[in-house]
Amino acid sequence: MSAADSQPTDGQLESLESKADLNENRAKRCGWAVIAGLVIETALTGIFPAHASGASNFWLALIETWGPVFADALVALGVYGEIRFSGKARRIDGELRRLSNKRVEAAEKTLAEATDRLAKVEFDNGYLEETIAMAVERAANAELETQRLKAQFAWRDITPEQEMLLRHELSKFPGASLIIRFFMYDIESQNLAEIIGAIFKLASWKVRFSPEAYTGIFEFGFLISPAIFFPFDRGHEENIRVSDAVKTAFSNANMDFLPLPPPSATMTMGGRGDDLAPPCAQLYVGPKPRPLIE
């Protein structure tokens, strides 16, 4: 049986308190009876002194004879009642204290159990919050890693802002030519070359694509240089000028490049696009650098 089942109820305590009050009142009445008996006996002693002769009146004789007996009986009953009811009241008070202490002990035990449960709940909540925080942190790290891998493996593209900046600079040289060289076995490079070529076409440039194969070491990213397949006497200075314009356009669009000629091709696929004429620049679109997986 639990402490909550064995502890005294409010009804039990109220009943005991009522009985204690009743017995205390009875003890008080008995005390007043003792006082009344003593008063009567004192009065009779004053009315009927010990040396006085018997009263001639019947009633006075009756009072003289039985009055002291009644007073003594009243005193005896009062003393008995006071002792009896006071004892009962003390016993009931003791039972009340015992039951009250029992209820206090049960309440203290319940409070201690509640405190323990609260401490356990707080500990569990702290552990849960820590676990949730760790899970959230792992999820955030996983999301960052996912975004990093997406950025590394995603195909390169030109944003609308970059396109606007490129066209703004390139439109200053309408009719200029550009040959775009790319690694023929890299579809991602070819796709980017097609996008860049379309932007140059929108800026009124002549564009020709040259898919090529390379052996040995080849470059990643962009390489920009003047076209070198025209004789120097047919506009080499002009080629340098439009090449610089392409470099400026890439710089304005925050597109990294190296001012170098393309690597030597071991094979070409013929090429396609516009016929080229000076001034002419050349752009090499190399493969995207491989992501470094930690």
CA–CA separation, 285 and 184 (whole Å): 10
Question: Does residue 136 share a domain with residue 102?
Answer: yes
Question: Does residue 216 share a domain with residue 123?
Answer: no
CA–CA separation, 231 and 235 (whole Å): 8
Res 265: pLDDT: 85
Final residue of a structural domain among 97, 125, 149: 149
What number is the average pLDDT over the span 96-118? 80
Instruction: Answer whether residue 99 is part of any domain.
Output: yes
Instruction: Answer whether residue 291 is part of any domain.
Output: no
Res 76: pLDDT: 67
Other residues' Cβ atoms within 10 Å of the Cβ of residue 37:
21
Instruction: Answer whether residue 63 is part of any domain.
Output: yes
Can you give the residue range of the structural domain that contains 103?
Answer: 3-149
Final residue of a structural domain among 127, 149, 171: 149
Q: How many domains does the chain have?
A: 2
Residue 287 CB-density burial (10 A; 0-12 exposed, 13-18 middle, 19+ buried): middle
Instruction: Answer whether residue 275 is part of any domain.
Output: yes
Question: Does residue 122 share a domain with residue 71?
Answer: yes
Of 78-82, 186-190, 216-220, give the lowest mean pLDDT range. Answer: 78-82
Instruction: Answer whether residue 154 is part of any domain.
Output: no
pTM of this structure: 0.51
Question: Does residue 271 share a domain with residue 167?
Answer: yes
Res 74: pLDDT: 63
Cβ atoms of residues 235 and 288 within 8 Å: no
The more confident residue out of 17 and 231 is 17
Question: Does residue 167 share a domain with residue 143?
Answer: no
